[in-house]
Amino acid sequence: MTGETGHKLRGDYSRMRPDYTVDQDWDAYSPQDHELWRRLYRRQLSLVPRYACDEFNDTLAVLNFGEGIPRFDAINAKLAPATRWQLVAVPGLLPDLTFFDHLANRRFPVTVWIRDPAEFDYIVEPDIFHDFFGHVPMLFNPVFADYMQAYGKGGIKAHELGAIEMLSRLYWYTVEFGLIETPKGVRTYGAGILSSGGELPYCVESRTPNRIGFELLRIMRTLYKIDTFQETYFVIRDFGELFEATAPDFTPYYEALQGREPYSARAVLPTDRVLHRGERAAA
């Protein structure tokens, strides 16, 4: 999950190591925590068969972590041989550079705390259910796993160039809210959608938002919303398209975009490959 959180962070950062990792402390979860996990998992399980991509659903079927909050080391025993990634436990949101450094080394930070029951439908800051249910199954896909590492390496470079805002838009419109074309129609692979109850049907079925073909520079220039459903979804043809987009050095892209006015989240451009023009008037 991304997006600025001006408010105080929820996690306990007092016992973290210099790289911001902590122990998961699985025994500290209460029966209520595990019950909330099962409720969240069951709700998503009723939706993902129709709206998530096969790559997500196939891994979910193999992993099967619905009985309670999973132990990170148990998942790591399966993830490492699959794509050489590992989960690291963190107290919550990390500084950008720390986050990028973990991704660049194939370490995915997973928040250890779970939301309150009152946040069943929406939470501002990523909790363990968002990070784990939304992000972890896709890390078992080799091409997507390589994309995530390339993104981390690119993030370190973007930090040096002061281009994090532009790169964060790429993360938002792919890793968090991305759609993919399939023979059965568009499906999602985005963690922010996969871990959400309402946005799963909306991103595929609603006529309100735009659905536009993936185009790197276009995305890096497009604003996003952090507290409503997305007004535009970008659609990749396959994960190869995503990974290939990260091959070139982004410095010329940042220079080309420097000082240019960003597009509003609901804009539709004449150069767009429009799969669906949303029903709200484009700003």
Q: Footprint of Fe ion on this chain (CB under 5 A)?
A: 1, 191
Q: Which does 219 bind (CB under 5 to 8 A by kind): ligand HBI, Fe ion, none?
A: none
Q: How many Cβ atoms sit within 10 Å of the Cβ of residue 60?
A: 22
Site residues for ligand HBI, 7-36, by CB under 6 A, read none
Query: C-alpha distances in angstroms, 195 versus 106, 120, 182, 249?
Result: 22, 11, 20, 32
Q: Residue with structure tokens 């025993």?
A: 77
Of the residues 22, 88, 93, 236, which one makes contact with ligand HBI according to CB under 6 A:
93
Closer to ligand HBI by Cβ: residue 132 or 171: 171
| Terminal CA-CA length for the chain | 26
Q: Output phi, psi for 280, to 5 deg.
A: -80, 150
Q: Which does 191 bind (CB under 5 to 8 A by kind): Fe ion, ligand HBI, none?
A: Fe ion
Site residues for ligand HBI, 190-249, by CB under 6 A, read none
Question: Three-state DSSP class for 65?
Answer: coil
For the bound state, the minimum distance from the C-beta of residue 50 to ligand HBI, rounded and expressed in Å, comes to: 26
Of the residues 70, 126, 190, 209, which one makes contact with ligand HBI according to CB under 6 A:
126
Closer to ligand HBI by Cβ: residue 96 or 244: 96
Of the residues 36, 75, 109, 144, which one makes contact with ligand HBI according to CB under 6 A:
109
155 close to 96: Cβ distance less than 8 angstroms = yes
- Between 72-83 and 142-161, two packed helices, what is the crossing angle to 10 degrees? 100
Binding residues for ligand HBI (CB under 6 A) = 1-2, 90, 93-94, 96, 99, 109, 126, 155, 168, 171
